[in-house]
Amino acid sequence: MDFFQEQDIARRNARLLVVLFLLAVLLLIVLANAAIAGYLWFSQDYNIYAGSREGLRGFLAHFSWERFGFIGLAVTATIALVVTLKWMQLSAGGKVVAESMGGRRILPQTDDRFERRCLNVVEEMALAANMPVPAVYALDNERGINAFAAGSTPADAVVAVTRGTLDHLTRHELQGVIAHEFSHILNGDMRLNIRLAAMLKGITFVGDVGHFLLRSSGHARTGLGNRRSNKGAALPVLGLALWILGWLGEMAAGFIKAAISRQKEYLADASAVQFTRDPTGIRDALRVIGGYLPGTLVHAARASEMSHIFFGQIEHRLWQVFATHPPLAQRIRKLDPAWDGQYIERKVRHYGERPGRPGEGQVGVGRAALVTAAIAAAHADGDEAAASDAGFGPDSGQWEAAIATHYALPRAFIDHSHDPVGAQALALALLASADDAVRQRQLGIIGETGVRGLEELVTTLTPGMQTLGPQQRLPLIELCLPALKTMSPRQYRVFKDTLLATIQADRRTELFEWCLFQLLRHYLDPEYYRVKPSRPRYRKLARVRFHLGVVLWVLARESGGDPGAAFALAVRELGLPKLQPPRPEQCGVAAFSKAVHELADCYPLLKPKVLKAMTLVAGADGELSAAEREIVHAVAAVMDCPLAPEADWPLATPPPAQNTRANPSAGNSP
């Protein structure tokens, strides 16, 4: 499945959402006018002589363009206000959504075996997808098997799983579910989900007002005096009309949700197979849901308005047209056309019981052929005892050993990455200078933080860190992110200031140091601050041609091949024949940083094009270097745009070098 094609689909869905939303608002305006006209007709047009009200003509007399415009403006303004407030609430990050449903954050230090397994799987998927490890939340009060990913960007994304998911799925089934949620993160579905929730809240708000009026009128009728009048009697009629209006709006909202969500679920299922290289994982998870009594039901108070973000249908629907997810059988058959229609029965575990191993003793539950390279490598040389435990998967020690082996990282580094102080020490040790004098200055800066044991730990880790290859740096940083997100706001401010001061200790900034700082800042800031997204300023890439040239040329020079040929590939992809590489003195780290931040101000539709051009440059020589990976990931982070998995990056054979300005100084450095 082509990542950039999925981005195009996500953008088309966003446009469809806007069209459907505008149609729903227009319908609400018409119905609101009808409700107001009915209220006025009921309260004012009673004929005391005839003992009745005027008929249709009297009702239509209350329609006028002036009143229509006024009511339309009032309805639009109200919906816009509600949508804005809901958007502001949800855009604060995925943790807001998870916590609103009673989610509890699973800490990296958890000693619960089920939670530890889930954290391991999430970390595996993040490493496989080349993205930072998101925070994980548990919905402890939910027995249904379900999960969701929430957030406005990959930087503030979280993955939440129900207790039923933790306790009743085998490891390879859990991998399928988590991979499904990761595809939503990478395909840009999360931002669309937030827009959808905010817009639908605006549509259903009218019904909330009607319900309030109905209750208010009920209290008024039972109050002192209990006066009866036309206007008093009309109030519940208005409330009933608005409630019916809201009910119709809710139906429209349900239809919009269903229209947008169902196709995304098919795509996410298919993407999960790509991530795990194993169609049986998500297929068997769906089969378990079909044979599990609580199914995917979720009872959290706020779950209904966010039903479209879940892995499965959270409530029973009488009509399939309003279902946010395709039927279970259809999803399974899409993954396995030869499916025999049999589900996997899984007994509901009572929570007073001692936790067992999900799937223990069952027949027919396959295990993943290949989930991630780390786990595959671990099992390749595993013993029989490890293989027999495959339904549950490796314990924490086995998993950490597998990751350490695959990435050739010291086991101590993996252990420290799960502790906040250890994760800080690893990040700072990556910046340790080979120059003794500079390194002593850096250690002095670290010692001034007052964090107990931090300076000593950095000193201990530095020798091992200096033996790491460049390709090991990015995975190590990604493993540190969950622990770094558990610091207090004050601890994070101190860490961030220390990180910057450590970089500047030698009074110059290397490209790797810039990439490291930007990655950490981008993925940690949303955890501690309310980060405002950059305001788009550039609608056309031609307006940022120079900055685009700086970024592409710096990346092209990191290629092992001809930078001019790599640059030419990007020029053709972008359709900008006038795009030229800048002069060498214009390609320093400061200029590169400025150029990246200018590109971050492009309109969202342009950003995937820039990243696709960068992946072409990175793969122009047929391989990806560590420096190329770090640059592309850092630029994607600053631009706040999801990045395709490296498996989807094109590894092209560069065309013959051309005698143009495309290769004026391949050997120069910034």
Is 617:556 a contact under the CB 8 Å cutoff? Answer: yes
How far apart are the C-alpha atoms of 570 and 609, rounded to whole Å?
10
Phi and psi (nearest 5°) for 62?
Answer: -85, 0
Q: Is the dihedral of CA 590, 591, 594, 599 positive or negative?
A: negative
Strand ranges in 13-157 using DSSP code E only, listed in sequence order: 46-47, 52-53, 104-105, 135-139, 147-150
Instruction: Confirm if 22 and 201 have CB atoms less than 8 A apart.
Output: no
Task: Say whether 139 sits in a helix, a strand or coil.
Answer: strand
SS3 105: strand
Provide the token pair at 87: 């958007």
Would you give the distance in Å from CA 205 to the centre of its chain?
A: 26
Cα 90 to chain center, whole Å? Answer: 12
Residues 6 or more apart whose CB falls under 8 angstroms from that of 443 comprise 455, 458, 459
- Active-site residue (options: 181, 305, 478, 513): 181
- For 187, phi then psi, to 5°, come to -85, 0
219-221-223-225 Cα dihedral, nearest 10 degrees: 170
The residue among 274, 272, 270 whose CA lies nearest residue 333 is 270
CB atoms under 10 Å from CB of 81, counted, come to 12
Among the listed residues 224, 207, 264, the one whose alpha carbon sits nearest the alpha carbon of residue 31: 207
Residues with Cβ within 8 Å of 397's Cβ and at least 6 positions away in sequence, in order, are none
Pairing of the two strands 104-105 and 52-53: unpaired
Angstrom CA distances, 48 to 56, 135, 564, stand at 18, 68, 90
Q: Is 99 a catalytic residue?
A: no
DSSP of 468-518, one letter per residue?
A: S-GGGHHHHHHHHHHHHTTS-HHHHHHHHHHHHHHHGGGS---HHHHHHHH
Catalytic (active-site) positions: 181
